[in-house]
Amino acid sequence: MAEDRNAWALARLELGSARRVLEIGFGPGRALRALLEWHPALEVYGVDRSEVAVRRAERWRAELPSAAKLHLSQGPLEELSPGLGRFDRILAINVNAYWLRPDIAFPPTLACLAPGGIFLAAFDPPSARRGEEIAAALKAGVSNLAGMSFAVERDAGARMTAVRVRR
């Protein structure tokens, strides 16, 4: 089931021209691994607040032929470093900081988004109504940012909602 959700979210990233991708809150690393397996030319970065998640990803990283293209770091979202550079695509799957604390989550994230880049927040809400509430909170989080477009997409089969912000 998680692989289906990750595949659905990754398909919405429009990876065709992307060279650098960041996943925030990668957890067990399924989406990171899929990115590297499906798009081995990408430079993939992962940031997670959990040391356990980073250690887990470090273990399976060595199994991948494109392991050198995966860069992992541990730390909270609000301390996301501009030193990482700009990313063509940024992905966050079920990272609740974007709807619970958009004032803290969006600024460091969007500061890392390259011109023309896409930020995608994908989540599987407990109900359609909650999905609409979360999408509205995400939209409110970016509504005051100039030069950003915003779109919401839902998939009933995967029970997922994606909010796409394009710079």
pLDDT digits (tens, 9 = 90+) for 30-89: 999 999 999 999 999 999 999 999 999 999 888 888 888 999 999 998 888 888 899 999
117-148 tens-digit pLDDT: 999 999 888 777 887 888 888 777 776 666 78
- Amino acid 2: pLDDT: 66
What's CA 100's distance to the chain center, in Å? 16
Q: Which of 5-9, 31-35, 100-104 has the lowest mean pLDDT?
A: 100-104
Q: Look at residues 21, 5, 33, 2 and name the one whose alpha carbon lies nearest to residue 118.
A: 21
Instruction: Output helix, strand, coil percentages for the chain, rounded to the nearest 5.
Output: 40, 30, 30
At 121 the pLDDT is: 92
Instruction: Read off the DSSP letter of residue 145.
Output: S
**pTM (predicted TM-score):** 0.92
